[in-house]
A and B are shown apart, each in its own frame.
Chain A
Amino acid sequence: NAGVTQTPKFQVLKTGQSMTLQCAQDMNHNSMYWYRQDPGMGLRLIYYSASEGTTDKGEVPNGYNVSRLNKREFSLRLESAAPSQTSVYFCASLKSRRGGRETQYFGPGTRLLVL
């Protein structure tokens, strides 16, 4: 099992460019998440998908869109990148949401720099 994989590992964009961050999990998990990590801020939830076909906003959704392509894949899109979106992005997955008792599994992260 590869667990949660993310591509690319590192990306540099110019302001206004668009890009899609890819995430896939091979653990047959139902729920998937996108977080951003900024210095001194911990991790903040951007969007999540409780199950295939559903997506919901998290704490900081502005400037992002997501697609739950199938059960395995959950992508994050920046339509018009801004320097404020410079961050490290983590994807995570969870088997089910039974009262939140279960563990989220994280990918290795995508480091994004917007100039």
Chain B
Amino acid sequence: GNSVTQMEGPVTLSEEAFLTINCTYTATGYPSLFWYVQYPGEGLQLLLKATKADDKGSNKGFEATYRKETTSFHLEKGSVQVSDSAVYFCALGGEYGGSQGNLIFGKGTKLSVKP
């Protein structure tokens, strides 16, 4: 079935380090891909998204490129800050033969950034 696989955490980095969180997916058709972020004690909020192959989503210094050939949507940031400490979720949506609009989430990756 359709699924999302994220790298397991937790990930601990020093401030200004480079971040990569891997995400790969299995789906039929042409899904949309999302990264959501959850700050401590809060709900999820959209970080970025891409709706077709080769699209690059970006926001707050984070980027992810929709790679259909490798079925991946890895999240990157060149220089993390302490305020980026959160849990990051990769999600699959769109036309995958099932319920449009519904999302399938990865298990989440907890990021801790130390000063």
* Interfacial residues, chain A to chain B (CB-CB below 8 A): 4, 31, 33, 40-45, 48, 50, 56, 58, 90, 92, 94, 96-109
Q: Can you give 26 A-B contacts (C-beta < 8 A)?
A: A4-B43, A31-B101, A42-B89, A42-B108, A43-B44, A43-B89, A43-B105, A45-B102, A48-B99, A56-B99, A92-B44, A96-B101, A97-B100, A99-B32, A99-B94, A100-B96, A100-B103, A101-B94, A102-B101, A103-B34, A104-B46, A104-B101, A107-B43, A108-B43, A109-B42, A109-B43
* B contacts with A, residue count (CB < 8 A): 25
- B101:A100 contact, CB within 8 angstroms: yes
* Interfacial residues, chain B to chain A (CB-CB below 8 A): 31-32, 34, 36, 42-46, 49, 51, 89, 93-96, 99-103, 105-108
